[in-house]
Amino acid sequence: MKIAIPTENKIVVSNDPRKSGFFKVVALKGEDIVSEEFRSNPLGRGPSGTPLTSREADLVLTTLSDCDVLIYGTEKNHFFNSRIPRHISTVKTNESIITSAVLDFNNRFLYNERNTCCSP
């Protein structure tokens, strides 16, 4: 599973994926992180308040096409979210540090998956 997290400075989770400078992409196998990489946002840091065109939204999402989950901060942009392909789930986090957001995702979602299957 690959998780994408928008970030301005490669440490803190960005509230708005459209305006982040980078995406940290973390590959998980079970609970273990097997790889991490940073991908540049093809739009750079978009100016605040500037609406995103459909072409720009698609360009950003192409960068994340191999990801399964997009974790973002508190701001939600309905136009951007409406363009996210169905195979990418979106998850809001209250965590501000990327590492904490990944751990939070593991605890909230992967832990629940493990414990809902096949109990005797």
Euclidean distance between CA atoms 7 and 15, whole angstroms: 8
> What is the maximum span of the chain, computed from C-alpha positions, in angstroms?
54
Encode pLDDT of 22-59 as tens digits: 999 999 888 788 999 999 888 766 555 566 677 877 88
Predicted structure pTM score? 0.79
Residue 77 has a pLDDT of: 60
Euclidean distance between CA atoms 15 and 12, whole angstroms: 9
Pairing relationship of beta strands 69-72 and 22-29 according to DSSP bridges: unpaired
Residue type, 101: A
Q: Is the pLDDT score of 5 beyond 70?
A: yes
| Residue boundaries of the structural domains of the chain | 2-114
Quick one: pLDDT band at residue 116, thresholds 50, 70, 90? low
For tokens 């803190």, the residue is 12
> In the CATH scheme, what is the homologous superfamily, with its name and number, of domain 2-114?
Dinitrogenase iron-molybdenum cofactor biosynthesis domain (3.30.420.130)
